[in-house]
Amino acid sequence: MSSAPDTSREHGIDTVNTAARPRIRSIVGGLAGNLIEWYDFLAYSIFSIYFANSFFPSDKPTVQLMNTAAIAAVGYIARPVGSWLIGLYADKRGRKSALTGSVLAMCVGSLMIALTPGYATIGVFAPIVLIFARLLQGLSMGGEYGTSATYLSEIAPENRRGFYLGFLQVSVVAGQLCALALMLVMQRWLLSAQQIEAWGWRIPFVIGGALALFALYMRRNVTETEAFAQSRRQPGPSVAQEMWQHRRQIAQAIGITVGGTVAFYTYTVYMQKFLVNSVGLSKESSTFISAAALLLYMPLQPLFGLASDVFGRRPVLICFGLCCTLFSVPLFTVLSHTKDPFVAFALSFAGLVMLSGFTSVHMLAKTELFPARIRALAVGLPYALTTAILGGTTEFVALRFKASGHESYFYWYVTVWAAISLIVYIRMPETRFRKVVAKT
């Protein structure tokens, strides 16, 4: 790809001519690591109902769960910090090194949770270790998504970046479903509730730590990107100066993200609770509907990404923004009045179809806004901050509106944020033809 002499060996960088060598191993390594990281991160929330008693002895289960949830929040608060640290490291030392360090931190955090004795054995040190482990998970997850998107955008074929980046969201949902599936298997066929609470809750974290070690092995064998190698060979301003020079693009990245973040946490995370609390379906039916809709949602990601390769990033994002702005209120209004599980499934899936226009391409569109020198940091940090502020509060906002007797206000809340992003999509430049690897 480049005829310039390779001086990157001085910095310990394994460069690769991506046009001449197979990319599949590197792409699979990036995606598998992302899937495993999301599995590890979400397993905490999914299994917390069983291990709360081990770390927080109390005669009030609600207090135990509140304490466990508070520590879960530490992981989300740490994500912007992790995005800054790992993104900066990825831009200075390489995508490969950052991705390896990210999955190593997640591995350590998961194994710490799996192996830490309970409160009855080591007293107050048990929740202290749990906090530290969750902090490691949050730092890891904060840097993972932006760095993975940067790596995949730089390693993927130039004319199919959208298609390959679509699989990044597939790995996110797959990690969530794997954690949920393990819980269902343990509940129904392997262990009793008492066994899971006594010791079985450690199994998913042992599995997660082992899988993270496997991901670590895979990522140690992926290739560094030519875009990063070029950025190391070319002198330039400091990171702070270059971030300031691209402040307009950073503002665009935030604008691209806000509407989709609220929509993502609405249509994926909150939807299951909405089906129970507002639609009136049973917990079992709601879980099945949500899981089935997510399974069908996954293969849409590379398809929408492929559409962005053909038609451009802007049209796909505009499609999401327009649909979410026009149809969120009608969709939730009709959904709140139905009692038919099949109608509920159809409407839930319709929301995920709209959402696919965002989740499939938004990270790619942002990677194409920035030069390689600051790409991982400039993509990951705005995303992590927006997710922490808007994504982490979406469910709370929805429940507050419902508690006040004005649940329909939340439908408009989703609509307004989608409309804000729609304006950004209309005004943003098309990025499909921008080079992530400079031609030399």
Predicted pLDDT at 1: 40
Separation CA 72–CA 41 (nearest Å): 9
Separation CA 361–CA 126 (nearest Å): 41
3-state secondary structure of 55: helix
The three-state DSSP-derived secondary structure of 215-266 is HHHHHHCCCCCHHHHHHHHCCCCCHHHHHHHCHHHHHHHHHHHHHHHHHHHH
Query: Is pTM beyond 0.75 here?
Result: yes
State which CATH number among 1.10.10.60, 2.170.150.20, 3.40.190.10, 1.20.1250.20 fits the domain covering 19-233: 1.20.1250.20
So where are the chain's domains? 19-233, 235-440
Predicted pLDDT at 5: 47
Predicted pLDDT at 377: 96
Q: In the CATH hierarchy, which top-level class contains the domain 235-440?
A: mainly alpha
Residue appearing with tokens 């940091």: 377
User: Mean pLDDT of successive 10-residue segments in the chain (440 residues)?
Assistant: 44 44 77 92 87 82 74 84 95 94 94 95 94 94 92 92 95 92 90 93 96 89 89 85 96 97 93 90 87 94 97 98 98 95 97 98 96 95 92 87 93 98 97 76
**How far is the CA of 33 from the CAs of 156, 360, 402, 436, in angstroms?**
16, 18, 38, 22
Neighbouring CB atoms inside 10 A of 427's CB total: 10
Long-range contacts made by residues 431-435, C-beta under 8 angstroms, separation at least 24? 431/313, 431/314, 431/364, 431/365, 431/368, 431/369, 432/162, 432/308, 432/309, 432/312, 432/313, 432/368, 434/368, 435/158
Predicted pLDDT at 68: 78
**How far is the CA of 125 from the CAs of 106, 128, 130, in angstroms?**
20, 5, 8
Q: What angle do CA 217, 219, 221 make, to 5 degrees?
A: 80
19-233 and 235-440, same CATH topology: yes
Separation CA 103–CA 145 (nearest Å): 11
Phi and psi torsions of 158, nearest 5°: -60, -40
Separation CA 400–CA 406 (nearest Å): 9
